[in-house]
Chains A and B, each alone.
Chain A
């Protein structure tokens, strides 16, 4: 490896570090809600504090099942080919999300104040 390679790696580490620090500021931790988006539209928003099962059906009739338990959200069932969303770890922190690309379902955790997110863009 050349010297420039190490500089490159260093730049990557700094850049990643900036992302990690930045997200701590941007995504607040109070009053978390779970937002379900289907095909770009908000489908439902539920509190992370309640334990529920939610069936998410998209316009093609494809289903994903969201489970919220003990302040953690996960997808327990999906009728998509790759099953990435089912294998995804549980999410519980603001900014984390589980995505099912084939069904165009996004489950994400948000703080109550939406205005903060707009400040990022």
Chain B
């Protein structure tokens, strides 16, 4: 790892952290638990395209740890980690197929994030009834993923080395 990469990674984790913080400040309750913007995912998508899958996973895990230790608790850590890991793995896999655009990959990532969280919630709370929310979470993940994808795409096109 050279100095340039280290600095860029540091900046990107900082940006992801701040985006998570901003998301915490915006009241975005539509009345269903688990529906949120996922702003920090912009950074994951950026890193995925600029550096690669491994780096994207590393940065998103680091971000989740930092954010959970700062604002959350052990429970929020397990949900966020499951969501980010599943989302990251799905996005990396889809990118390798080269069949989807940035927006498509971001949509898949958003949906995977919600599904990962739903699975952990079902395990922790021992409630398979939570599947009731499956449909809503797929739709909300697609919509937020779409906008996150547009934001990431716009940023990528303006990012010069």
Contact = CB atoms under 8 A, between A and B. Distances in A.
Given A1-B103, A8-B107, A37 B135 contact: no
Q: Is the interface of A mostly helix, strand, loop or mixed?
A: mixed
Report the interface size class on chain B.
20 to 34
Contacts of B104: 1-2, 4-5, 8-9
A40 B125 contact: yes
Contacts of B139: 12-13, 16
Contacts of B76: 101
B15 interface: no
Contact of B134 (A1, A19, A85, A110): A19
A2 B104 CA distance: 8
Nearest to B27: A87
Interface of B: 29, 31-33, 73, 75-76, 79, 99-101, 103-104, 107-108, 111, 121, 124-132, 134-136, 138-139, 141-142
Interface of A: 1-2, 4-5, 8-9, 12-13, 15-20, 23, 27, 37, 40, 81, 84-85, 87-89, 95-99, 101-102, 104, 106, 108, 110, 117, 120-121
